[in-house]
Amino acid sequence: MYFVLIDRYADGDRSNNQKVEQANPGGWHGGDLKGLTRQLDELSDLGVTALWINPVQKQINECPYANAPAKLGIPEFRHCGFHGYWIDDFSSMDAHLGNLDDLKSLVDEAHKRNIKVLLDVVYNHAGYNSSYRDRLTADGQRWLRVGEGNCDVDPVKCAVGGLPDFKTELPEVRKYLLDANIELAKRAGVDGFRLDTYKHIETDFWAEHRQRTRAEIDPNFFLLAEYWGGNAGALDQFFARDEVDAGFDFGFKGSCESFVSGRGRAVAYGSYLGSRHKVRNGYLLAHYLSSHDEPMSLSNLGWDKDKFRICAAVQMTSIGLPVIYYGEEVARGGSEWPLNRNNMPWGARDIRPGKGVARDESLRSYYKSLLHIRKSHPALSRGEYAMLSRPSDKVLVYVREEVTSKDRVLVAINREAGEIAVDVTLPAGWNEAAATDELSSELLSIAAGHIKLIMAPKSVRILSFGSGKVVH
């Protein structure tokens, strides 16, 4: 899955560029749905099979001032709703991004390329000083809480980030929000929702939401929850109640950054990867390296692309739903907020707003290879996991096996700065005469159940065994 902030990706319609301020890191930059649609071949070629886009409804007109961290050297700037999370009218599209026909066209064109589309939706809050602030229910109750509550005490009845909080416990408010988002999904033809601020809404709301999306949109309508701090254990309560299909794994990013930076033993990280398989059967953990709410991983790693490549390889050889944040596949130069929301790099291509911004095509080719390997091997997306490394080993080695297809893959990772030779004892029953390195196409011989590998500094090898490979 590939996550795009539409305003930062590609400008396909100059006529909707009102109030564009490219020099303002919090302003509108001009990307829109038409521009994204024109670049779908870029995503299809990469190997993307699902596209997640930010909310598209009308945003508040004002742009509050915001103070970025001083260490970024950014003066005070105006922060507009280019990201889509400050909604002022759930019943209309934001003109900066396009209209309903543009959204439908994006979905239709994505479907032609076998790419599903997830729309980000907000139920918890409105934008600052939104027009909803003064709206009352039929019996005189306000729709919104403004500046109320402590989210550490009551995560449902509090104003997240100071944003006006919808009283989703009120039937009239709940119906309005559900009707608006479900109607938009039906008209646009999207395949699922990414659900913003999941922990800040009642569970009975989500139960009703699940029932209605299945009944009114599609029985297979996909729901992905943003439950801050989520992992297999924390998300299981929602999976047990079948409220959603998937949730974000907030631990994956930091764990991999720590591992490639040399913290902890290799086997400790291998055990962590194994623990991710404890997710309830039939549900998914969505794991990412960068996001719009956290610092970019490449920046966290001191711009060490070899370390970043290792994390990308681990992401694509791990169970779950891998999420690529736009531009990280070409080494987008973002760091922490607000620079984690900068423009998509397009190099010399005449695509704004990121025209002239340098990009790393070799890294993109590496990502393309990883996505192809993942799609070719069912073991990587749904197979069992076993670690082969011993406690004293510096190289992490694990295997993935999908029994039905007899697909077997071995992953070896050297995070060290020097070359290491390893002699791997394969699991019992792995009787093939040779293995193929999927990244280099090298054929490696197997003798008496052992395979010997020379691991270059800061490198990954992905070896395939067996007959389960899917031919594309």
- Whether residues 370 and 389 fall in one domain: no
Render pLDDT for 336-370 as a digit per residue (tens, 0 to 9). Answer: 999 999 999 999 999 999 999 999 999 999 999 99
Contact 359, 347 (CB under 8 A): yes
pLDDT at residue 436 tops 50: yes
Q: Which of 349, 382, 415 is the last residue of a domain?
A: 382
The pLDDT value given to residue 472: 40
Q: 369 and 407 share a domain? A: no
Does some domain include residue 405? Answer: yes
Asked whether residue 117 is assigned to any structural domain, the reply reads yes
At 162, the pLDDT band (50, 70, 90 cuts) reads: very high
Residues 283 and 332 in one domain: yes
Burial of 239: CB neighbours in 10 Å, binned 0-12, 13-18, 19+: buried
- Note the pLDDT of residue 467: 54
Please give, one letter per residue, the 3-state secondary structure of 398-425.
EEEEECCCCEEEEEEEECCCCCEEEEEE
**Residue 199 predicted with pLDDT over 80:** yes
Measured in whole angstroms, the distance separating CA 352 from the mean position of its chain's CA atoms is: 23
Whole-number pLDDT of residue 63: 94
145 inside domain: yes
Question: What distance in Å separates the CA atoms of residue 183 and residue 176, rounded to the nearest whole number?
Answer: 11
Asked whether the predicted pLDDT for residue 468 surpasses 70, the reply is: no
How far apart CA 464 and CA 406 sit, in angstroms, is: 11
By the 8 A CB rule, do 188 and 104 touch? Answer: yes
140-149, 180-189, 312-321, 380-389: the lowest-pLDDT one: 140-149
**338 prior amide bond cis, ω within 30:** yes
Tell me: do 211 and 340 sit in the same domain.
Answer: yes
pLDDT band at 471 (very low <50, low <70, confident <90, very high): very low
Give residue for tokens 């065994």.
465
pTM (whole model) above 0.95: yes
Model confidence pLDDT, tens digit, residues 215-234: 999 999 999 999 999 999 99
pLDDT digits (tens, 9 = 90+) for 412-423: 999 999 999 999
Which pLDDT value is given to residue 68?
A: 82
- Whether 258 and 307 have beta carbons less than 8 Å apart is answered as no
Structural domains counted in the chain: 2
Mean pLDDT of 371-389: 97
| Half-sphere CA count of 446, side-chain side, radius 13 A | 22
Range of the domain at 183: 2-382
What is d(CA 448, CA 333) in angstroms, rounded to the nearest whole number? 47
Q: How confident is the model at residue 469, as a pLDDT? A: 55
Cα distance between residue 262 and residue 377, in whole Å:
29
Report yes or no on 472 lying in a domain: no
- Residue 78: how many other CB atoms lie within 10 Å: 15
Secondary structure of residue 339 in the 3-state scheme: helix
Residue 471 within any structural domain of the chain: no
Residues 345 and 268 in one domain: yes
